[in-house]
A and B are shown apart, each in its own frame.
Chain A
């Protein structure tokens, strides 16, 4: 067992984890953050994308112990005071989902992309989300939503991480 201390969606958690525990398992099974989903067993699909210290990662390819001391932002930490994040709102407005399974990862990766490139071309959006697969092949509206969000949130796109609040005893 290893002791880890991690800030997730603005709250600090401390837990003992087995070194083999994947970050996505920790988020889902210990913290109950099931908004982050597991879509594949090959690191291909990007459905489990979260931000680790401000950069998008596939949480199935990071060990929970590697997140010790780090800040994690999941799709569940985007909403502010009942207001959806502009990228979430744009996905809603543009009907950028069919089955919706890829949506959490698509949204997290799109926010990462817009933080880097606030006004991407269609091609840049497609390249920016190349690590995220939509098995329904509904890319058209996803790309449209990302460009719509870009227009509505100029300038600067990274969701400001919340200041850490009280220490919560993990989900264990």
Chain B
């Protein structure tokens, strides 16, 4: 199908984009990589009067080191995230999860900021962003603010970004030397996660000294498996310990039931995949 008509602007600075969004009113929408938004337009699930394309804003692309943080521009593509040397070294979990997003063509166009702002509960990048305690940089008419990932994801397809605000960057603390694994369960021809687990752990002298675990598609938002994290920390690394700790993975979740899986099966998947993800991350 063909999208309904809309006006289109392609600003070259964040300031111009914020202005265009404010001027456009309620029906103005932002276009990032377009790999979810253009299908939404084509299926006429959305009917904006104005599309503000962020593709012309050079400052929104790229990865840089800022002291203790690795800062990823919101318009950095999945393709670039998977190949970035700084992310590979300091924030391996986000690179690992990004490799599983969709397919090569979509990864060439899709962006980290676009995926997080879209906030699809089956999307793969929200859970690692939450697990990694990232901060999301949001710019609006009254300036810039930083939102912790724990406050960013509010509900299905809903984030803390205001109607006239733009997500400009994602700031990750460094996890240098931590192991990382994104363990994903999906139908082969559909890369959306039925359930997935993002795990990064620090192992020192055979002991787990720190752990961060996020769950994909176990609620309307990504969920942190804090029970598992605290059960792991201080333990000697062994398959038995990890499998026992992973039993807490579904605590505090509220998974949906749909054509792919019932909620009880999703809880089972969360426990099994958490065990696998932690073992792989630690190994």
Contact = CB atoms under 8 A, between A and B. Distances in A.
Q: Which of B1, B31, B109, B190 has the most CB of A within 10 A?
A: B109
Interface stretch (A60-68, A96-104, A154-162): A60-68
Interface stretch (A51-59, A76-84, A143-151, A163-171): A51-59
B262 interface: no
A41 B105 contact: no
Contacts of A65: 8, 10, 53
Contact of B3 (A20, A43, A46, A52): A20
Nearest to A55: B108
Given A19-B51, A66-B53, A46 B103 contact: yes
A130 B101 CA distance: 11
A58 B5 contact: no
B105 A58 contact: yes
A133 B108 CA distance: 18
Contacts, number: 80
Q: Chain A interface secondary structure, helix, strand, loop or mixed?
A: mixed
Interface in B180-236: 189-191
A57 B104 CA distance: 8
A84 B179 CA distance: 46
B189 A128 contact: no
Contact of A42 (B5, B34, B39): B39
Interface in B44-64: 51, 53, 55
Interface residues of A, number: 32
A113 B31 CA distance: 27
A46 B190 CA distance: 13
A86 to B, nearest CB: 20
A36 interface: no
Contacts of B41: 20
A130 B109 CA distance: 16
Contact of A128 (B4, B31, B104, B106): B104
Contacts of A46: 103, 105
A55 B79 contact: yes
Contact of A63 (B34, B105, B106, B191): B34
A122 interface: no
A57 B78 CA distance: 13
A148 to B, nearest CB: 20
A116 B66 CA distance: 30
Nearest to B38: A61
Contact of B105 (A2, A57, A133): A57
A136 to B, nearest CB: 14
A55 B33 CA distance: 14
A22 interface: yes
Nearest to B9: A19
A58 B79 CA distance: 15
Given A61-B34, A61-B35, A63-B34, A112 B104 contact: yes
Given A20-B3, A55-B108, A128-B104, 4 more contacts: A18-B5, A62-B34, A65-B53, A133-B189
